Amino acid sequence: MFITGHRQAELNAAVEAIGKNVPAVQSDVSSLADLDRLFATDVMASLIHQASLSDKMSPNV
């Protein structure tokens, strides 16, 4: 899980409230450039990798 938002101060406060293990990425989801930057982060790469492993471990129905 990770969080994203416009304002870094609010993201920092959210990380403090949720816990240090939640990555926060400042971005605007209505901005294609920000979305490209978001998908290029290590956080997103890790999430995509975990999802692909999860799919491989799921039983075929």
pLDDT digits (tens, 9 = 90+) for 3-23: 888 999 999 999 999 987 888
Q: Which is higher by pLDDT, 61 or 33?
A: 33
Q: Which of 51, 49, 30 is nearest to 41 (CA)?
A: 49
| pLDDT for the residue numbered 9 | 95
Q: Which is higher by pLDDT, 27 or 41?
A: 27
Cα separation, 36 vs 32, in Å, equals 6
